[in-house]
Structure 1
Amino acid sequence: MPSFYQFEEIWDSLKQHKNRNLLTGFGVAWGIFILVLLVGAGNGLQKGIMILFQDYTQNSLWIYGGETSMSKPGQRSGRTISFKEHELHLFSKRYPEIKEISPEVTYPGKKLHSKYKSYRRFKCFGIKSSYFNIKTFKVERGRLLNPNDELTHAKVAVVGQQIAKGLFGKEEAIGQFISLDGVWLQIVGILAEKSLFSDNQEYIYLPYQTLKDQFNYGENVNCFAIALAKDTPPLKFEEGFKTYLSQKYKFHKDDKNAIYIENLQADAKTFNSLFKSIQLFLWLVGICMLLSGIVGVSNIMLVVVKERTQEIGIRKAIGAPPKSILFMILNESIVVTLLAGISGLISASVVVFLINASLGSMIMDKNSVFKGLNINIPIALGALILLILAGAFAGLYPARKAASVMPIKALNSDNQ
């Protein structure tokens, strides 16, 4: 970086052509401004998406029964694959890696009402209390289902907020009774707000044994969820577990329609990989815009060298070494780029603050996919380092050209 006297000389040179230097610097400032906004927006979107996975234990698997599409010797295609409740217990005994396991049985209820109103749109599920250790819902009021509800086959329910409001309005719903297809259930909990992946506001959760008893539901389980121990690699476990299921239920291991396994950790990794690609693309777009400003700086420095040809000749004639001439032009280029870049960073920071302030309620909403523009320290430091390198690169060719000027030719030049 230039010394104080060199900086004073550079500043005097810049003041001689204010408008030209301001327009040149604007190109650099605009480039870094766009770069910071693009990368910040990408970070905010990634943060919002990854927060949505918090509704699930990330080392969890969701297994759905399907219909075979590939035949095996002695087994035709088109068979329905479903599971039994007692088999889930066998799975957990066979695999010590399974920390929690629960069925998720969908009940196609038709009529739901309280003593005041009826409600049409809803989804009903029969689960075990361990379910809420896999899908980590929270309650706004009341409680979740517990093991005692299962043991006593209690006629209780946890419902979404929309159902509670639709059936009871402003009245407290906890402790109230609702009728599901003629079976009266007591509300013991109201779920907290939904997320993008879990639209739970119109859901009803019952103890699995209660669902079986009251609605004559059979033994078949079409879907169940498991949470694995923290040190268990989900992808490796999934592969081994699917092989075991294919042997037990006699379907082809490569039959993708027989069962479907949703691996939350794999999904999270996929999203992370996607956002890394998006971030790379945003960096490339921002850098390309920044380079257009850098090219402008390089062109202006060529003009500066041409205008100061006689001055350079005089400096060299009185003994200034080529190295001093090179650094004089190079430092001026770096200063122009750095000042413009810092202005762009400050402007971007102000705009980010204003955007985040104006979107405050949306950013604070846990269901929002976008968590505002996020500028972090590594991005700021990376941008500053990039600016310094870019300024040096922009001034390198003009500086080398100035350093190679012959004193006699420079003194005879007509450029002022």
Structure 2
Amino acid sequence: MFDLDHLQEIWTALSKNRLRTFLTAFGVFWGIFLLVLLLGSGNGLKNGMDAGFSGAATNSFFAWGMRTSKPFAGLPAGRSIEFTNADIEELRRQVPEAKVIAPRLQLGGHRGGATATRGIQTGSYSIMGDMPEIQTIQSLVVPRGRFLNHLDIEEKRKVAVIGSRVHEVLFEPEEDPLGQGIRINGVEFQVVGLFRSRQSGNDGDRDAETIFVPFSTYQQAFNAANRVHWMAVTSVDGVKASVVEKKVLDILRARHKVSPEDNRGIGHWNLEEEYEKIQGLFTGIKLLMWIVGVGTLAAGAIGVSNIMLIIVRERTKELGIRRAIGATPWKVQGQIVFEAVLLTLGSGLLGLSAGVGLLELVNRLLPPAVPGGEPQMFQNPGVTLEAAVLALAVLVASGVLAGLAPARRAVAITPMEALRS
């Protein structure tokens, strides 16, 4: 049934009305082409999003003190909650599920700024008192020098790691900042590293204007005593951050006598939940793209079914003669289905190739991703092998379904009916 003569016969039948055949094949071509473009574009956006989170601790959350909104344990509402070093030590003791508990401080408070100078150069920057682990949590790259280490914390060293914008303002373009001194609110610090953030947009700009100093040094140099402005916490592998978050918040509320029903006493933000929401969003977008693409492909398959019905009608006499000389219904039906699959698969493969080719062209035109550099919002668009195989399976299934109705119509033709026509 699938020899060269049969293929020639199919070509003859389809080429009788080439415009009709072309328009029908184009429907399938466009359906699979659109499906590939949609899936590739979705993957490009998702790759950009994943690059934005690359290296960051997506299993992390942050907590900070606020003002209570409800009275509790004989204490009035409106109390200001401030964390201390003792809170950090207690959490490290009671929450083994927490991999990192990093206290944080900032001059001027959240989003506040402080003055840093070097000679006659001066600027206002975010001055952060941090632990070394914040490098992993915030996905920071240190191309020159080093980041903070635990010896800096233990010895309360006056060292600083500066952002790229700080370097541009306080130093000459070709000047090496390592080992140089800068003054922060009048206190001398030595620059030991230059960092770059992987984040983009406002977050990346803010990181570029940030200076990190050891947490313990900050407390001593800027009279912070044992205060902690907020903390960053990550969970151990296999434990969700939300589980650790609940345990941490319960302990902090108990220590600071905050009502369990008071949602304002202690602020918190879970990066893991935000990441999962974004992942869910892209899953929904991908599903929508499949629905749109398969729907368009189905419209093309209906066109194939219609043209096959017309071809069957035009070949009524031929099919009747085949039946008369001994062709079984199954053989006639298989022939029509094969013709529909061939038309669908052929045009679909062209659409698949065109879609993949266009995505590859777009990928080559995009600026290359720089390791450790600022992530692109759209990168590496393309379809996976699994998606391509699934698309081919959908094509074959569409061809079979498109050929069923014409095949049944062909089988229903009796030899006598065909000869009378």
Instruction: Name the TM-score class by shorter chain.
Output: over 0.9
Tell me the residue number matched to 1:246.
253
CA-CA distance at 1:351 after TM superposition: 0.2
- Farther off after superposition, 91-100 or 292-301: 91-100
Q: Are the aligned partners of 1:41 and 1:372 in contact in 2 as well (CA < 8 Å)?
A: no
- From the superposition, tell whether residues 221 and 201 of structure 1 become closer, same or farther in structure 2 (CA, over 3 Å): same
- From the superposition, tell whether residues 13 and 128 of structure 1 become closer, same or farther in structure 2 (CA, over 3 Å): same
Q: What code does the residue aligned with 2:401 have?
A: F
Tell me the residue number matched to 1:237.
244
CA-CA distance at 1:4 after TM superposition: 4.4
Does residue 162 of the first structure (1) align with residue 169 of the second (2)?
A: no
Structure 1 Cα separation of the partners of residues 307 and 267 of structure 2: 62
Structure 2 Cα separation of the partners of residues 363 and 289 of structure 1: 37
SS of 1:371 mapped into structure 2: coil
1:326-372 CA-partner distances (Å, limit 9, x unpaired): 12211111000000010001101110110000013368754222223
Tell me the residue number matched to 2:359.
352
Does residue 145 of the first structure (1) align with residue 148 of the second (2)?
A: yes
Structure 2 Cα separation of the partners of residues 360 and 410 of structure 1: 64
Q: What code does the residue aligned with 2:310 have?
A: V
Tell me the residue number matched to 1:215.
222
TM-score normalised by structure 2 residue count = 0.91
Q: What code does the residue aligned with 1:167 have?
A: L
Q: Are the aligned partners of 1:57 and 1:135 in contact in 2 as well (CA < 8 Å)?
A: yes
Percent identical residues: 33
Does residue 288 of the first structure (1) align with residue 295 of the second (2)?
A: yes
Structure 2 Cα separation of the partners of residues 379 and 168 of structure 1: 51
Structure 2 Cα separation of the partners of residues 286 and 268 of structure 1: 27
Q: What code does the residue aligned with 2:221 have?
A: Q
Q: What code does the residue aligned with 1:26 have?
A: F
Question: Which of residues 234, 239, 260 is equivalent to 1:227?
Answer: 234
Does residue 260 of the first structure (1) align with residue 267 of the second (2)?
A: yes
Tell me the residue number matched to 1:324.
331
Residues 12-411 of structure 1 aligned to structure 2 (within 5 Å): 12-108=12-108, 109-120=113-124, 122-170=125-173, 171-196=175-200, 198-199=203-204, 200-361=207-368, 366-411=374-419
- From the superposition, tell whether residues 253 and 196 of structure 1 become closer, same or farther in structure 2 (CA, over 3 Å): farther
Q: Are the aligned partners of 1:101 and 1:131 in contact in 2 as well (CA < 8 Å)?
A: no
Structure 1 Cα separation of the partners of residues 243 and 119 of structure 2: 51
CA-CA distance at 1:320 after TM superposition: 1.9
CA-CA distance at 1:301 after TM superposition: 1.1
CA-CA distance at 1:93 after TM superposition: 1.5
- Farther off after superposition, 154-163 or 218-227: 218-227
Q: What code does the residue aligned with 1:268 have?
A: Y
Structure 2 Cα separation of the partners of residues 210 and 24 of structure 1: 74
CA-CA distance at 1:62 after TM superposition: 1.6
CA-CA distance at 1:55 after TM superposition: 3.7
Q: What code does the residue aligned with 1:242 have?
A: L
Q: Are the aligned partners of 2:319 and 2:410 in contact in 1 as well (CA < 8 Å)?
A: yes
1:305-324 CA-partner distances (Å, limit 9, x unpaired): 12112222222222222222
Structure 1 Cα separation of the partners of residues 309 and 93 of structure 2: 77
Q: What code does the residue aligned with 1:180 have?
A: I
Q: Are the aligned partners of 1:116 and 1:168 in contact in 2 as well (CA < 8 Å)?
A: no
- From the superposition, tell whether residues 295 and 334 of structure 1 become closer, same or farther in structure 2 (CA, over 3 Å): same
- Farther off after superposition, 54-63 or 291-300: 54-63
CA-CA distance at 1:5 after TM superposition: 4.0
Q: Are the aligned partners of 2:219 and 2:227 in contact in 1 as well (CA < 8 Å)?
A: no
Q: What code does the residue aligned with 2:122 have?
A: S
Q: Are the aligned partners of 1:54 and 1:136 in contact in 2 as well (CA < 8 Å)?
A: yes
Structure 2 Cα separation of the partners of residues 113 and 234 of structure 1: 39
Structure 2 Cα separation of the partners of residues 361 and 264 of structure 1: 28
CA-CA distance at 1:133 after TM superposition: 4.3
- From the superposition, tell whether residues 314 and 194 of structure 1 become closer, same or farther in structure 2 (CA, over 3 Å): same
Q: Are the aligned partners of 2:68 and 2:79 in contact in 1 as well (CA < 8 Å)?
A: yes
Structure 2 Cα separation of the partners of residues 363 and 158 of structure 1: 22
- Farther off after superposition, 242-251 or 2-11: 2-11
- From the superposition, tell whether residues 47 and 103 of structure 1 become closer, same or farther in structure 2 (CA, over 3 Å): same
- From the superposition, tell whether residues 93 and 181 of structure 1 become closer, same or farther in structure 2 (CA, over 3 Å): same
- Farther off after superposition, 154-163 or 108-117: 108-117
- Superposition CA RMSD, Å: 2.1
Q: Are the aligned partners of 2:200 and 2:374 in contact in 1 as well (CA < 8 Å)?
A: no
- Farther off after superposition, 352-361 or 39-48: 39-48
Question: How many pairs does the alignment contain?
Answer: 412
- Farther off after superposition, 74-83 or 140-149: 74-83
* Gap runs ≥5 in structure 2: none
- From the superposition, tell whether residues 362 and 289 of structure 1 become closer, same or farther in structure 2 (CA, over 3 Å): farther
Q: Are the aligned partners of 2:141 and 2:198 in contact in 1 as well (CA < 8 Å)?
A: no
CA-CA distance at 1:289 after TM superposition: 1.3
Structure 1 Cα separation of the partners of residues 209 and 194 of structure 2: 11
SS of 1:111 mapped into structure 2: strand
SS of 2:358 mapped into structure 1: helix
Structure 2 Cα separation of the partners of residues 190 and 2 of structure 1: 68
SS of 2:194 mapped into structure 1: strand
Tell me the residue number matched to 1:6.
6
Structure 1 Cα separation of the partners of residues 238 and 324 of structure 2: 74
Q: Are the aligned partners of 1:144 and 1:158 in contact in 2 as well (CA < 8 Å)?
A: yes
CA-CA distance at 1:217 after TM superposition: 2.4
- Farther off after superposition, 191-200 or 81-90: 191-200
Q: Are the aligned partners of 1:362 and 1:368 in contact in 2 as well (CA < 8 Å)?
A: yes
Structure 2 Cα separation of the partners of residues 3 and 259 of structure 1: 76
- From the superposition, tell whether residues 133 and 359 of structure 1 become closer, same or farther in structure 2 (CA, over 3 Å): closer
